[in-house]
C-alpha cells in the first residue's frame, strides 16, 4: 500500500507495475477482490432470486404462454390438420379431408382426447362441441366413403365455415383468445370482425375498470388531501394519534373491511336503519346502496384511501411552512397562496399516491365481487369467472396478460416518479 501511495501521482500508466505484498500486480489483485465482492453480494441475493423466479415469474410466464397456446387441436386432430394444410379454402374439401377427420375422431373417441378439442372449438363457434361429440359417439359406425358417412351423421360437416374454422385453429398457437378478450372474432370468411352485439362485453369492462379506478383515485385524492395536510401540519403529538385512524384501516384485513361495508350499506343495514329512524327516508323507501356500482366505489375508496394519504403525508411533511408565510407576507390571499405556492409542491405526493391507488384499483377483485352486484364488477371478476366457472382458461390468461401489461406500464411510470427504493411502508 505504501508503495501505491508513493507513486499514485505518477499517472495511471504506471499502475500496472505496482504489486501487492505477494507479488501479484495491484490492478489484478484489486479486480479480483472486486469480483469476489460482487460475487458475494450476488450470492446473498441469489436464493431469493431463484425462489421468486420459480414460485412467481415462471407461473406468470406460463400464463402468458397459455394465452396463445392451442395444442388441443393439432394434437387431437393431427391427420385433419395435415390434409387441410394444402386445402385452397374455396369449397368444402374432398374425401381425403373427411377420411382424415373420421380417423382422428375415431381415435380421439377411443382414447378420450377429442373432448378437449371439441371444447376448445366451441369457444370459437358455439355448437362445435355438440357437433364433434355427437360424431364421436357414432365414430365406430363410420365407414368409407367417409364424406357421405359424416354428412349422414350431421350435415353441418358440409358447412364450409366449419372447415375454415378447423383450418384456422390448426396451428399450435392462436390469437383468438386475445381477439376474444377485445370483443373481436373471425367471420365465416376468416376476416377479423367485431363480435355480435350481445357478446360484446370485455371492451366495456376494460373501460368500466378504467373509469371506476379513475373515479376512485380522484375521490381518494379529494378526501385524502385535506387529511394528509392536517396530519402534516398538526403538532406531532396530535398527528401521531390521528395517524392511528389512518393506519388501523390500512392494517385491517381487506375482507374484514369489505364485510363492514356490507353491514353498513345493505338495505337492512346500519345506514338505512339510521336514515329511517331519522325520518330521512321511509321504511319502504330504503336505498339500494350496495350490490351495484355505488357499493364498489364507496367501499374501494375507503379501502384505498390510506394508500393516498400516506405518500401525500410524507411529501407534505417536507414542505416548510415558511413558504406559505412568505407568500402571505408578500400579499397573496390565502386561496392564491395555497393554490400557487402550496399545491405545486405536493405534486410528487399526488402523483405517487394517485398511481398507487389506480394500480391497486384496476386489479381489485375481492371487494367488487362481494359488494359490486352485477354493475359493479370489474375486469378481474371476469378473469375469476373464466378461471372457475366457464373454465375457458385461455381467455382468462389473455385478459390477465392484457391487464398485467397495463399494470406494468403504470408501474414503470410510478418508478419514474417515485422510485422503488423510496417506497414507504406504514
Partner 1 sequence: MAKFPPYVGKLERTWHYTYLTICGLVFLYLILPIIMIVPLSFNAEPYFTFTEGMLAFDPDAYSTRWYTDFFTSKSWIHSIKNSFIIAIAATFLATALGTLAALGLSRPHMPARELIMSILISPMIVPLIISGAAMFFFYSQINLAQTHLGVILAHAALGTPFVVITVTATLVGFDRSLIRAANNLGADQRVTFFKVILPLIAPGVISGALFAFITSFDEVVIVLFLAGYEQRTIPLEMWSGIREQISPTILAVATMLITISIVMLASLEMLRRRSERQRGMSPG
- The mark string for 140-179 relative to partner 1 (x by CB under 8 A, - otherwise) is ----------------------------------------
Site for partner 1 in 313-352 (CB under 8 A): 334
Residue from the set 14, 38, 137, 416 that interacts with partner 1 by CB under 8 A: 38
Q: CA–CA distance from 307 to each of 81, 349, 416 (Å)?
A: 53, 11, 18
Contacts of 73 by beta carbon, 8 Å cutoff, 6+ apart: 81, 117, 120, 121, 166, 169, 170
Q: Which CB sits closer to partner 1, 103 or 259? A: 259
Q: What is the dihedral of CA 240, 243, 245, 250, to 10 degrees?
A: -140
Site for partner 1 in 363-402 (CB under 8 A): 363-366, 370, 380, 383-384, 387, 393, 396-397, 400
Contacts of 172 by beta carbon, 8 Å cutoff, 6+ apart: 69, 70, 71, 74
Which cell goes with 413?
411510470
What is the smallest separation between the CB atom of 165 and partner 1, expressed in angstroms?
A: 26
Measured CA to CA, the distance from residue 373 to residue 305 in angstroms comes to 22
Residue from the set 6, 8, 28, 44 that interacts with partner 1 by CB under 8 A: 44
Measured CA to CA, the distance from residue 374 to residue 205 in angstroms comes to 12
Q: How many residues bind partner 1 (CB under 8 A)?
A: 89
Residue from the set 17, 28, 32, 42 that interacts with partner 1 by CB under 8 A: 42
Query: What is the maximum alpha-carbon separation in the chain?
Result: 100
Q: 173 has which bridge partners?
A: 69
- The 3-state DSSP class for residue 89 equals coil
Site for partner 1 in 283-312 (CB under 8 A): 302, 305-306
Using CB under 8 A as the binding rule, whether residue 423 contacts partner 1 is answered as yes
Measured CA to CA, the distance from residue 349 to residue 264 in angstroms comes to 31
**Can you state the angle between helices 128-137 and 95-111, rounded to 10 degrees?**
80
Tell me which residue of 269, 418, 250, 286 sits closest to 349, measured CA to CA.
418
- The mark string for 64-93 relative to partner 1 (x by CB under 8 A, - otherwise) is --x---------------------------
- The mark string for 254-283 relative to partner 1 (x by CB under 8 A, - otherwise) is xxxxxxxxxxx-x-xxx--x----------
Which one of the spans 70-78, 99-107, 195-203, 219-227 is the region binding partner 1 (CB under 8 A)? 219-227
Using CB under 8 A as the binding rule, whether residue 198 contacts partner 1 is answered as no
Residue from the set 48, 91, 278, 330 that interacts with partner 1 by CB under 8 A: 48
Using CB under 8 A as the binding rule, whether residue 421 contacts partner 1 is answered as yes
Q: 128 has which bridge partners?
A: none
Using CB under 8 A as the binding rule, whether residue 53 contacts partner 1 is answered as yes
Q: Which CB sits closer to partner 1, 195 or 260? A: 260
What is the smallest separation between the CB atom of 226 and partner 1, expressed in angstroms?
A: 5
What is the smallest separation between the CB atom of 270 and partner 1, expressed in angstroms?
A: 5
What is the smallest separation between the CB atom of 335 and partner 1, expressed in angstroms?
A: 9
Site for partner 1 in 221-260 (CB under 8 A): 223-224, 226-227, 230, 236, 240, 242, 244-249, 251-260
Asked if residues 358 and 367 have their Cβ atoms less than 8 Å apart, the reply is: no
320: left (phi over 0), alpha (psi -120 to 50) or beta: beta
What is the smallest separation between the CB atom of 19 and partner 1, expressed in angstroms?
A: 23
Pairing of strands 184-186, 192-194: antiparallel
Residue from the set 18, 294, 359, 395 that interacts with partner 1 by CB under 8 A: 359
Which one of the spans 86-94, 144-152, 198-206, 417-425 is the region binding partner 1 (CB under 8 A)? 417-425
Using CB under 8 A as the binding rule, whether residue 409 contacts partner 1 is answered as no
Up-side HSE of residue 95: CA atoms within 13 Å toward CB?
6
Asked if residues 264 and 294 have their Cβ atoms less than 8 Å apart, the reply is: no
Using CB under 8 A as the binding rule, whether residue 28 contacts partner 1 is answered as no
Say how many C-beta atoms besides its own lie within 10 A of residue 198's C-beta: 6
What is the smallest separation between the CB atom of 137 and partner 1, expressed in angstroms?
A: 29
What is the smallest separation between the CB atom of 272 and partner 1, expressed in angstroms?
A: 8
Amino acid at each position: 500500500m505504501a508503495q501505491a501511495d508513493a507513486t499514485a501521482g505518477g499517472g495511471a500508466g504506471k499502475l500496472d507495475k505496482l504489486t501487492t505484498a505477494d507479488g501479484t500486480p495491484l490492478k489484478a489483485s484489486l479486480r479480483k477482490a472486486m469480483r469476489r465482492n460482487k460475487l458475494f453480494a450476488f450470492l446473498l441475493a441469489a436464493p431469493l432470486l431463484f425462489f421468486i423466479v420459480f414460485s412467481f415469474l415462471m407461473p406468470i410466464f406460463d400464463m402468458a404462454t397459455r394465452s396463445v397456446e392451442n395444442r388441443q387441436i393439432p394434437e387431437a386432430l393431427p391427420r385433419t390438420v395435415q390434409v387441410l394444410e394444402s386445402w385452397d379454402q374455396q369449397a368444402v374439401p374432398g374425401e381425403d379431408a373427411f377420411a382424415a377427420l373420421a380417423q382422428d375422431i375415431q381415435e380421439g373417441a377411443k382414447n378420450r382426447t377429442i373432448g378437449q378439442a371439441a371444447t376448445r372449438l366451441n369457444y370459437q363457434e358455439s355448437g362445435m362441441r355438440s357437433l364433434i361429440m355427437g360424431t364421436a359417439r357414432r365414430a365406430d359406425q363410420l365407414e368409407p366413403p367417409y364424406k357421405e358417412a359424416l354428412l349422414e351423421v350431421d350435415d353441418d360437416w358440409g358447412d364450409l365455415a366449419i372447415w375454415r374454422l378447423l383450418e384456422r385453429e390448426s396451428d399450435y398457437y392462436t390469437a383468438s383468445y386475445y381477439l376474444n378478450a377485445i370483443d373481436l372474432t373471425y367471420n365465416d370468411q376468416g376476416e377479423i370482425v367485431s363480435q355480435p352485439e350481445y357478446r360484446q362485453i370485455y371492451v366495456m369492462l376494460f373501460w368500466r375498470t378504467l373509469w371506476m379506478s379513475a373515479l376512485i383515485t380522484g375521490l381518494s385524492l379529494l378526501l385524502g388531501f385535506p387529511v394528509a395536510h392536517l396530519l402534516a401540519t398538526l403538532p406531532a403529538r396530535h398527528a401521531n394519534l390521528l395517524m392511528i385512524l389512518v393506519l388501523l384501516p390500512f392494517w385491517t384485513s381487506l375482507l374484514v373491511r369489505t364485510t363492514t361495508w356490507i353491514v353498513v350499506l345493505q338495505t337492512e343495514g346500519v345506514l338505512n336503519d339510521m336514515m329511517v329512524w331519522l325520518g330521512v327516508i321511509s321504511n319502504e323507501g330504503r336505498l339500494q346502496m350496495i350490490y351495484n356500482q355505488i357499493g364498489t366505489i364507496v367501499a374501494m375508496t375507503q379501502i384505498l384511501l390510506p394508500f393516498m394519504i400516506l405518500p401525500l403525508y410524507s411529501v407534505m411533511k417536507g414542505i416548510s411552512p415558511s413558504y406559505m408565510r412568505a407568500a402571505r407576507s408578500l400579499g397573496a390571499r390565502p386561496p392564491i397562496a395555497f393554490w400557487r405556492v402550496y399545491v405545486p409542491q405536493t405534486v410528487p405526493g399526488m402523483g405517487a399516491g394517485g398511481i398507487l391507488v389506480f394500480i391497486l384499483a384496476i386489479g381489485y377483485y375481492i371487494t367488487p365481487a362481494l359488494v359490486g352486484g352485477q354493475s359493479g364488477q370489474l375486469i378481474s371478476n371476469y378473469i375469476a369467472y373464466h378461471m372457475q366457472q366457464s373454465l375457458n382458461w385461455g381467455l382468462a390468461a389473455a385478459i390477465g396478460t392484457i391487464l398485467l401489461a397495463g399494470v406494468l406500464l403504470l408501474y414503470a411510470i410510478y418508478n419514474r416518479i417515485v422510485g422503488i427504493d423510496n417506497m414507504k411502508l406504514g
